[in-house]
Structure 1
């Protein structure tokens, strides 16, 4: 069973005048998986210190820790085309950071799951699960839409939330502090 590590909101600035809340998100972790992968290295480190260590987040992205990001759409004008386009751009940039290339077959497959027949509306819940073996599973409103086998895409996707720069710095540090508390329990 996974537990909530932290929450945040993804905003988009419009012409420096107004900020729109696109979606809320939460990151979940499987405590036993976290402890098995990183417990020896970080046990005993205070949560208030660990949340600022970039090495900790790098280790989270390098090891097969069972993670989930749950997104809840807040903006009623969000369409599947906008979501696909935003993820395509963001994930290409993160892939460039993770593997020095923006080409990854997993990205094309992931974007194909965000097709025109998929409906996005205010309140839509999107779960992205990082599972062992480099599997990235997408679930929309409880319906599994597909699984991609790409360790690089897994790292790139979760780098959006706990990498540099994150979509929300306060959420990243909240997640890091919570994960550190789990390691110390």
Structure 2
């Protein structure tokens, strides 16, 4: 029987659990499990709280659906399959295909509060029948966004995947959402923009002058800029009417590089990743699993 292990923060094994074969197919999808979705009572709206799986008494241990092993790192406990201290400021999960690490919560420029990671995935391009991974990505949301999703409580991952209205509701919420992109290879800025524009343009059937101006601003950020491996790109939606772009080659960004003021462009980009034909199926599938877990 294959086993995976749960470890506490001091590196000691807590217990073993059978790994069920066939649960995951081509890719391991890690979905956050530490959020509970409490039901509002009366006029009060409770805040999301830290939840522990039934049968685990150690408050330092949280569990992921699939075993993830991190290499030694000063901010990551060795051999921790998403076993983290809920009060720690340096919590990470690893995107399985690229091995890129994403913080479980972030504070970003232009956001009123910290954002929580819902899922991760990667983007792959095919060159001469060979698939090449270009970047890893993770979706973060303001936790209060989850309170607008009561209608989907109890839905299965398959139902969430097929229902585009759920992701439309997330986008339309007047609370922050952010997509973190981490490049896993060097990319020319023009090449990156051209690929992005090829996905955005068909989603805006009749662009207005406002849309054209927003696309021009968006294009200017990447034109002529070499994007090195390890570069962070954050696309943040503080509300449905605009999008903030932050680029950093040295860790998390300290400011906003551009503000895109067009709801059509902002929604088109969100739809590129979370619409019916996403450019990263692994990212949307991971976010769907995260939502299924939270909305139980």
Which residue, 109, 121, 124 being the options, matches 1:8? 121
After TM superposition, the structure 1 stretch with the greater mean CA deviation from structure 2, 172-181 or 134-143, is 172-181
Query: Deviation per CA, 1:62-111, whole angstroms, max 9, x where unpaired?
Result: 444521111111122x111111211222111222xxxx325523112111
Is 1:55 matched with 2:55? no
Instruction: Tell me the alpha carbon deviations over residues 10-33 of structure 1, each in whole angstroms, 9 at most, x when there is no partner.
Output: 1110122x1111111111111102
Matched, 1:121 2:228: yes
Q: SS of the residue aligned with 1:92? A: helix
CA RMSD, Structure 1 to Structure 2 (Å): 2.1
* Matching of residue 87 in structure 1 with residue 192 in structure 2: no
Q: Which runs of 5+ in 2 are unaligned?
A: 1-113
Change (3 A) 1:167 1:31: same
More helix by share: 1
Give the TM-score, by structure 1 length: 0.83
Taking structure 2 as the reference length, the TM-score comes to 0.54
Aligned equivalents of 2:231, 2:164: Cα separation in 1 = 32
The Cα of 1:164 is off from its aligned counterpart by 1.9
Aligned residues between the structures: 175
Contact 2:122 2:282 in 1 (8 A): no
Structure 2 CA distance for partners of 1:46 and 1:11, relative to 1, 3 Å? closer
Q: Residues 156-179 of structure 1: CA distance to partner in whole angstroms, max 9, x if unpaired?
A: 111111112111223212212313
Moved more, 46-55 or 144-153: 46-55
Q: Distance in 1 between matches of 2:131 and 2:240?
A: 38
176, 180, 184: which is aligned to 2:288? Answer: 176
Contact 1:20 1:75 in 2 (8 A): no
Q: What are structure 1's unaligned runs of at least 5 residues?
A: none
Q: Partner of 1:135 in structure 2?
A: 242
**In 2 relative to 1, CA 146–29 (structure 1 residues): closer, same or farther, beyond 3 Å?**
same
Change (3 A) 1:177 1:65: farther
The Cα of 1:154 is off from its aligned counterpart by 1.2
- Pick the structure with greater CA Rg: 2
Q: Distance in 1 between matches of 2:281 and 2:190?
A: 26
CA–CA distance in structure 1, aligned partners of residues 182 and 207 of structure 2: 27
SS of the residue corresponding to residue 194 of structure 2 reads helix
Q: CA separation in 1, counterparts of 2:165 and 2:115?
A: 23
* Cα distance change on mapping 1:42 and 1:65 into 2, 3 Å: farther
